Amino acid sequence: MTLRISVWSGPRNVSTALMYSFAQRPDTAVVDEPLYGYYLKTTGSEHPGKDHLLEVLEKNADKIISKTILGFNGKPVYFIKNMCHHLVGLDESFLDELVNLFLIRDPREMLPSLVNQLPHPALRDTGLDKQLELFKKLKAAGKETFIFDSKDLLLNPEGMLRAFCSFVGIPFYKQMLAWEAGARPEDGAWAPYWYHNVHKSTGFAQYTPKNEKIRPDLQPLMDESIELYEELYKSAVKV
């Protein structure tokens, strides 16, 4: 039986590096944001390369869930990199078949980067509101889950990955800490628009504080995002 691990992230959260990390495991297959096409079609959100992506991505949520998310049984472990804001208007009962974890990032470091791809982001684009909603829903249902922070992951990759693996009940492998630079076969079709920096990486980058200014018109979004993030971070795993 395949263990299905879904990491519900937001954008610019080191989630692609985490996916690359799990792709190094001999027992694991990975998939990159399977609900992205559905999200673009449903919301009409303006994303880089949108027209091309709508041509090449699967957009039918039922097919994505039944075939891509729940249908894969090729390896003992299946790592699903998901964006939490892609859960738009879906029956979320399929989450019962997954081990659900949350990767968060301080919006003071995330938003200044996000505007490079989405110049006019809304709260939905951060994923933080949906992350908190889903975390509370799972907790109320008695489901064990795990929140970890991008900064904490970068500061201590091995320690956080060991905690992650322990939580889901799989061994940690040292090869999870490094990979070859460049585009990878697990990349989604949107990689040319989003993955420039991670394609230069050969492992988790050293944490560097971000001190970029946010545009004044985005300050209300920043304030709301910080409030959501801080509530999530209270439950984050520390190692």
- Residue 43: CATH number of its domain: 3.40.50.300
Its pTM stands at: 0.96
Q: Residue 206: inside a domain, yes or no?
A: yes
Range of the domain at 37: 3-233
Q: Residue 52: inside a domain, yes or no?
A: yes
With a cut of 90, say whether residue 117 has pLDDT above it: no
Yes or no: say if 188 and 16 are a contact pair by the CB < 8 Å rule: no
Q: Residue 211: inside a domain, yes or no?
A: yes
Yes or no: say if 139 and 145 are a contact pair by the CB < 8 Å rule: yes
Yes or no: say if 17 and 109 are a contact pair by the CB < 8 Å rule: no
Which pLDDT score is estimated for 4? 98
Q: Residue 238: inside a domain, yes or no?
A: no
Q: Residue 43: inside a domain, yes or no?
A: yes
Q: Report the domain count for the chain.
A: 1
Q: Residue 239: inside a domain, yes or no?
A: no
**120-171 residue pLDDT tens:** 999 999 999 999 999 999 999 999 999 999 999 999 999 999 999 999 999 9
**206-237 residue pLDDT tens:** 998 887 888 999 999 999 999 999 999 999 99
**46-67 residue pLDDT tens:** 898 999 999 999 999 999 999 9
